[in-house]
Amino acid sequence: MKTLAVVAKQGSADAAILARRLRQRRPDLTFLAEPEFAQELGWPIHTPEEVAARAELVVVLGGDGTLIRGARLLGGRPVPILGINLGSLGFMTEVPAAEGLDVLEEVVAGRGSVQQRMKLACRVLRAGVVAVEDEVLNDVVINRGALSRIADHETRIDGKLIATFKSDGLIVATPTGSTAYALAAGGPIIHPGLDCALIVPICPHALTQRPLVVPGDQVVSIHLGAEATDIYVTFDGQSGHALQAGDTLEVRRSPNRVLLVSNPRLDYFAVLREKLHWGER
């Protein structure tokens, strides 16, 4: 690995300091950054497309939101991502800032351990035509606007009806995303090595409508009823689009994967214990 792309938490002075330290420690490597951050650091400025195309390793300086932005920058390119945590929690940015330089040395030398994380390919169909397409690492969320009422979400798997969720919204998450919004909405924690998707209704108007774990190779479709108004779809919390009554959201497993460099000192359950205090009494 000779070319590294640095994706940093916006407005973070700590990220700028660490980025400079990384480059000073390894002057033999080529460091790229998104235009605004490169300008702040005094580095050569390249377009985001060029940064994504040239990167052999992405170094994220921030939290999980910054890591998701780095994954979206890559699109479907199978480039490892090293997450150095400068945020408040950080399930995917597993490496503490104090260990970032040492772990980077291991990764550049080819001694890093990489996990593959599932993504979901999403598209919104409107009158049979694709209106929006995107991919997510964490989740796709259908949610109401500020003044809208509970909506009907007719949900099917491979064309077979599951239920019509009467709720504020619906989350379809990957195993990676099970510790994000889906967890806050009452969903289970799913090990990221599993091949499945999670469907979680948001504030359902029935005690019988609970979260579901479904096979990863099946297509989830959510159809909005005719009375749906002021409804939005959000992809990984990064982009959002207004939906219309009659729209259908289709979600399926993406052929692309996100490659995350693991912290050699932590396994998945250690991350849960450290970040969530999971399993404590």
CATH of the domain at 266: 3.40.50.10330
pLDDT score recorded for residue 99: 87
pLDDT score recorded for residue 208: 87
Q: What percent of the chain has pLDDT over 90?
A: 73
Residue with the two structure tokens 């330089």: 101
For residues 143 and 249, membership in a common domain is answered with yes
Active site (annotated) includes residue 64: yes
pLDDT score recorded for residue 183: 95
- Tens digit of each residue's pLDDT (9 = 90 or more) over 135-188: 999 999 999 887 667 889 999 999 999 999 999 999 999 999 999 999 999 999
For residues 152 and 206, membership in a common domain is answered with yes
For residues 210 and 247, membership in a common domain is answered with yes
Burial class (CB in 10 A: 0-12, 13-18, 19+), 6: buried
For residues 105 and 220, membership in a common domain is answered with no
For residues 86 and 135, membership in a common domain is answered with no
281 within some domain = no
> At residue 69, what are phi and psi to the nearest 5 degrees?
-65, -40
Please tell me the distance from the alpha carbon of residue 136 to that of residue 71, in angstroms, as a whole number.
Answer: 9
DSSP string across 230-256: SEEEEETTTEEEEE-TT-EEEEEEEEE
Residue type, 249: L
**Distance from CA of residue 233 to its chain's centroid?**
15
Q: Is residue 119 over pLDDT 90?
A: yes
Q: How many domains does the chain have?
A: 2
- Average pLDDT value for residue range 179-203: 96
Residue 179: give its domain's CATH number. Answer: 2.60.200.30
**Distance from CA of residue 167 to its chain's centroid?**
24
For residues 270 and 189, membership in a common domain is answered with no
Q: Is residue 62 over pLDDT 90?
A: yes
Which structure tokens are listed for 213? Answer: 């774990």
Please tell me the distance from the alpha carbon of residue 81 to that of residue 257, in angstroms, as a whole number.
Answer: 11
One of 64, 134, 139, 247 is an active-site residue; which one?
A: 64
Range of the domain at 57: 3-113+262-276
For residues 249 and 129, membership in a common domain is answered with yes
- With beta carbons less than 8 A apart as the criterion, state whether 7 and 73 touch: yes
Q: At what angle do helices 13-25 and 100-108 cross, to 10 degrees?
A: 40
Measuring CA to CA, which residue among 61, 95, 94, 56 is closest to residue 74? 56
